[in-house]
Amino acid sequence: MSKPFAYAMVEVLGATNAVIVVDQMLKTATLELVSRETSCGGHTTLVLQGDVSACAAAVDTVKERAVCDVIAAYVVSGPSDELVRIIENTGLRKKK
């Protein structure tokens, strides 16, 4: 996979909330879910990729019209090669 232009990263509590947030983000902008990682306590980190404006629009929508408690939400534009490698090797990766 080539390096994406930006990552939209969101952390929520609970698998159901993660599904709802991903749906909300995908309805906001053209993105692709590339990783989902769940840690203790049910914290779920979602990573979607797309261009910077799409990632920013999706993260802003989640922050402004949250359907659940959003623990963290950020856009990483121009991610480093190391970050791309980390994301590709963790969580639920897209099957090719």
3-state secondary structure of 40: helix
Residue 92 confidence (pLDDT): 55
Residue 1 confidence (pLDDT): 43
How far is the C-alpha of 30 from the C-alpha of 53, rounded, in Å? 10
How far is the C-alpha of 38 from the C-alpha of 42, rounded, in Å? 6
How far is the C-alpha of 58 from the C-alpha of 88, rounded, in Å? 21
At position 23, the amino acid (one-letter code) is D
Q: What is the pLDDT along the chain (96 residues), one digit of tens a residue?
A: 455 689 999 999 999 999 999 999 999 999 999 999 888 888 999 999 999 999 999 999 999 998 899 999 999 999 999 998 898 887 555 554
Kindly list the structural domains of the chain, giving each domain's residue range(s) and its CATH number in brackets, ordered by start: 13-77 (3.30.70.1710)
* pTM of the predicted model as reported, rounded to 2 decimal places: 0.86
Residue 2 confidence (pLDDT): 55
